[in-house]
Amino acid sequence: QQQVKQSPQSLIVQKGGISIINCAYENTAFDYFPWYQQFPGKGPALLIAIRPDVSEKKEGRFTISFNKSAKQFSLHIMDSQPGDSATYFCAASGSNFGNEKLTFGTGTRLTIIP
């Protein structure tokens, strides 16, 4: 059972544009929602994360928007650059001890074109 659904599967954005990736979750026990960036042949790198007590978090060009009632969250990459071309994964986890496993989405392959 896939508990975190991610879309789109792939995304092409022009340099300088806004990249938007969406995720939806089912388990209401989730209360931590990170985004990871993964380059080919590398492990996922933590990019930005949010807790459900806020609706938005911004770090540099990266913003997470969170809608608790809809059980959805999204990643916005402003002023997208070719170096942002990578696969992005949303994830979710609980916070209770022993329930901290990350459940990942299926990934979005982002390509930034000049």
107 binds another protein (CB under 8 A): yes
Residues 41-80 close enough to bind another protein by CB under 8 A: 41-46, 49, 51
From CA 44, how far away is CA 34, in angstroms rounded? 11
Query: What kind and span of H or E run contains 12?
Result: strand 10-14
- Contact pick of 21, 34, 63, 112 for another protein (by CB under 8 A): 34
102 binds another protein (CB under 8 A): yes
97 binds another protein (CB under 8 A): yes
Strand order in the sheet with 72-77: 4-7, 19-25, 72-77, 62-67, 56-59
- Count the site residues for another protein by CB under 8 A: 27
From CA 93, how far away is CA 83, in angstroms rounded? 28
- Contact pick of 53, 83, 101, 114 for another protein (by CB under 8 A): 101
